[in-house]
Amino acid sequence: MRTEREAAIIVRRGELFLMLHRVPDDYWHVVAGVVEADETFAEAAARELLEETGLHAAVADLAMPQSYAVPEMLRHEYGPGVVEVTIGNFSVEVPPEWEPTLNEEHDRYRWCGLSEATLLERWPETIEILAALAAPKLEAR
């Protein structure tokens, strides 16, 4: 059952983003999952990262929380009364040689540049985060 809190983890390898194909629902997404009642967003992010990719690593809080309204047609997937979900966004940088070990939720993955990642990604909130992370940083003058 989905909850009112979720964690999304952007896995980066340089300029590339890790995208996972979710088997049960047939869509591409970043590492993500529900935040259990006894977890913080960061704890859930680290757990989901390990479960979905086999990577045990510290995640960096992007300090860019988001929320979305649960569409009426999907409310049956959520707990009673859940109409809005808050997303905690995190990131982790991996070495060039690292590759994920997928769990049963996913059947394949891709390393993508920003344009391909945003074309594959299903959720608009995550597309915003990907774009923000890929945006060139303004240099101090």
> So where are the chain's domains?
5-134
Q: Is the pLDDT of residue 139 over 90?
A: no
Please check whether residue 59 is in contact with residue 90, taking contact to mean a CB–CB distance below 8 angstroms.
yes
Strand stretches in 1-141, DSSP E: 5-13, 16-22, 27-29, 31-34, 60-61, 66-69, 84-93, 106-112
Residues 84-108 have a mean pLDDT of 97
**The predicted structure's pLDDT at residue 137:** 61
Q: If DSSP codes are grouped into helix, strand and coil, which group holds residue 91? A: strand
- Does 3.40.640.10 match the CATH number of domain 5-134? no
List pLDDT tens digits, range 101-132: 999 999 999 999 999 999 999 999 999 999 99
Q: Is the pLDDT of residue 8 over 50?
A: yes
Q: What is the pLDDT of residue 128?
A: 95
The mean predicted confidence, pLDDT, of the chain is: 94
